[in-house]
């Protein structure tokens, strides 16, 4: 038996493919693209016989239904999730014979109300547990995605679930879905997997002195999350559409793009966008975090058209978007409209006018320029009117999020907008001045 983690750096998640040593495999928490799972399965000569989902995912479309259609996989999921498509609905304590190994369902509500963890057993010996959004490396996943009025009660359920998982033997592997970079609340760090013993010894939430202390610490760690998180659980409950063919980018000319009143998403690097872009285009540079920012900033109710550079992979763009339920109407031929706009880039050093910092709250508190205005990028669409006087210099950690913010400001009517090349530490090094914290 071999467990192969399939890490999605952009979403901060891991899926898993378990080679059952008989030509069959179990897939856990795979997204709809299936490219990584498909590549591993093909390389190892495997057919996916089982597709298990730990919960109704908010951050990606489940690939379980696609695996059922393409490979005949049996879908394993919580009966409490009321999924509206064929699956084996499992309750706490139910077991599935995988042909030598067994999979036992553990009811672990908290991250969602219907959350299951799956213990992989060899006879009576637990080898590891797929914990989804329950116990994760160094933390536990957020409990505020179901509804605001259930956040605290789910946090208390999460406490009970973690205590139950902690009763497993020390050497049991912990295979969580959410990891560093996930907006489902995971601390920074390189480790994606762990063991029960390590988590019992080091996880602050497992070491909380009481349920109340646990709830206070968990709820105090919650940050913002993309709005598409509120849409995807119901899509996953109904069943994502089965893809009959791979998505692709259809070439479109500028006139066609204007006729369809499309949102133009420019995925080129920030410096290329700055040098010339379609007026009012939304800059979201193609990088691991592209898909999260696409879901945060791009509208779900308008056609989307891509502008990409010659070296950027069209398949990567469309599959990243497909993971969260977005499709593109096509791509703009030639890359830009005959009419172009530019955005100024400024080097670290003395800055004039308003400095707008669009990083997440925790990043801003850790160190920011004195007197900088702070609005998270994800909130900027609804708060452009709050941005102080022009000129405005936008900054983040490296420049990509700042360029996205600048494109939003320019579309909102701001004309003297520049982007800082680099981040707060670069500015401090260039000026010799100290950053503020808090």
Token representation of residue 155: 């946090």
| Beta strands 95-97; 101-107: pairing state | antiparallel
Q: Closest Cα to residue 196, out of 206, 210, 186?
A: 206
**Interval 342-365: pLDDT, tens:** 999 999 999 989 999 999 999 999
pLDDT recorded at residue 186: 63
Q: Indicate whether 33 pLDDT > 70.
A: yes
Over residues 214-242, the mean pLDDT reads 94
Q: Judge contact between 10 and 290, C-beta under 8 A.
A: yes
Q: For residue 338, what pLDDT band results from cuts at 50, 70 and 90? A: low
**Interval 148-172: pLDDT, tens:** 899 999 999 999 999 999 999 999 9
Dihedral sign computed on CA atoms, order 97, 99, 100, 101: negative
Q: For residue 244, what pLDDT band results from cuts at 50, 70 and 90? A: confident
Q: Judge contact between 252 and 332, C-beta under 8 A.
A: yes
Q: Indicate whether 144 pLDDT > 90.
A: yes
3 state SS of 178:
strand
Q: Indicate whether 340 pLDDT > 70.
A: yes
Q: Closest Cα to residue 108, out of 135, 81, 139, 75?
A: 135
Q: Indicate whether 185 pLDDT > 70.
A: no
Q: Which residue has the higher pLDDT, 100 or 51?
A: 51
Q: What's the mean per-residue pLDDT of the chain? A: 93
**Interval 258-304: pLDDT, tens:** 899 899 999 999 999 999 999 999 999 999 999 999 999 999 888 99
Q: Indicate whether 402 pLDDT > 60.
A: yes
pLDDT recorded at residue 190: 65
Q: For residue 388, what pLDDT band results from cuts at 50, 70 and 90? A: confident
Model confidence, pTM: 0.92
Q: Indicate whether 336 pLDDT > 60.
A: no
Over residues 223-234, the mean pLDDT reads 93
Helix axes 400-411, 290-297, angle to 10 degrees: 20
What is the Cα–Cα distance from 248 to 257, expressed in whole angstroms?
A: 17
CA dihedral 277, 385, 428, 400 (to 10 degrees): -30
What Å distances lie between residue 421 and 52, 110, 280, CA to CA?
Answer: 44, 41, 21
What is the Cα–Cα distance from 299 to 290, expressed in whole angstroms?
A: 15
| DSSP state letters, 71-121 | H-PEEEEEGGG--SSS-EEE-TT-EEE-SSEEEEEEE--SSSTT-EEEEEE
Which contacts (CB < 8 Å, 24+ apart) does range 209-218 have? Answer: 211/156, 211/159, 211/160, 214/155, 214/158, 214/159, 214/162, 215/152, 215/155, 215/156, 215/159, 218/140, 218/142, 218/143, 218/155, 218/158
Dihedral sign computed on CA atoms, order 381, 387, 393, 396: negative
pLDDT recorded at residue 389: 81
Burial degree of 1 (CB within 10 A; 0-12, 13-18, 19+) = middle
Separation of CA 125 from chain center: 33
């Amino acid at each position: 038996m071999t467990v192969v983690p399939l890490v999605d750096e952009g979403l901060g998640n891991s899926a898993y493919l378990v080679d059952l040593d008989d030509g069959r495999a179990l897939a856990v928490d795979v997204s709809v693209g299936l490219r990584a799972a498909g590549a591993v399965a093909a390389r190892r000569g495997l057919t996916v016989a089982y597709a298990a989902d730990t919960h109704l995912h908010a951050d990606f479309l489940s690939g379980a239904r696609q695996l059922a259609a393409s490979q005949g996989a049996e879908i394993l999921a919580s009966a409490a999730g009321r999924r509206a498509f064929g699956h084996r609905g499992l309750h706490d304590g139910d077991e599935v014979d995988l042909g030598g190994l067994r999979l036992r369902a553990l009811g672990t509500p908290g991250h969602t109300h219907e959350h299951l963890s799956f213990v992989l057993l060899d006879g009576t010996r637990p080898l590891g547990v797929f914990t989804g959004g329950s116990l994760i490396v160094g933390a536990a996943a957020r409990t505020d995605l179901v509804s605001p009025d259930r956040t605290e009660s789910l946090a208390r359920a999460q406490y009970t679930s973690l205590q139950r998982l902690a009763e497993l033997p020390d050497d049991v592997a912990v295979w969580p879905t959410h990891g560093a970079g996930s907006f489902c609340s995971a601390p920074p760090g390189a480790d994606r997997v762990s063991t029960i013993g390590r988590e019992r010894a080091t996880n602050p939430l497992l070491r909380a002195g009481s349920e109340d202390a646990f709830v206070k610490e968990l709820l105090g760690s919650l940050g913002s999350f993309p709005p598409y998180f509120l849409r995807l659980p119901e899509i996953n409950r109904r069943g994502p559409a089965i893809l009959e063919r791979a998505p692709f980018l259809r070439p479109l000319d500028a006139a066609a793009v204007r006729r369809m009143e499309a949102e133009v998403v420019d995925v080129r690097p920030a410096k290329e966008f700055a040098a010339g872009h379609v007026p009012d285009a939304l800059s979201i540079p193609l990088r691991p975090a592209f898909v999260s920012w696409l879901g945060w900033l791009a509208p779900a109710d308008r056609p989307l058209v891509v502008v990409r550079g010659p070296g950027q992979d069209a398949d990567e763009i469309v599959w990243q978007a497909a993971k969260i339920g977005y499709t593109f109407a096509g791509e703009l031929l030639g890359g830009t409209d005959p009419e172009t706009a530019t955005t100024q880039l400024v080097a670290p050093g003395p800055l004039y006018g308003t400095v707008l910092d669009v990083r997440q709250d925790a990043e801003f508190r850790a160190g920011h320029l004195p007197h900088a205005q702070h609005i998270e990028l994800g909130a900027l669409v609804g708060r452009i009117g709050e941005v102080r006087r022009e000129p405005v210099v936008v900054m983040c950690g490296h420049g990509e999020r700042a360029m996205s913010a600048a494109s939003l400001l320019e579309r909102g009517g701001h004309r003297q907008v520049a982007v800082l090349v680099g981040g707060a530490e670069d500015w401090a090094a260039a000026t010799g001045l100290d950053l503020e914290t808090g």
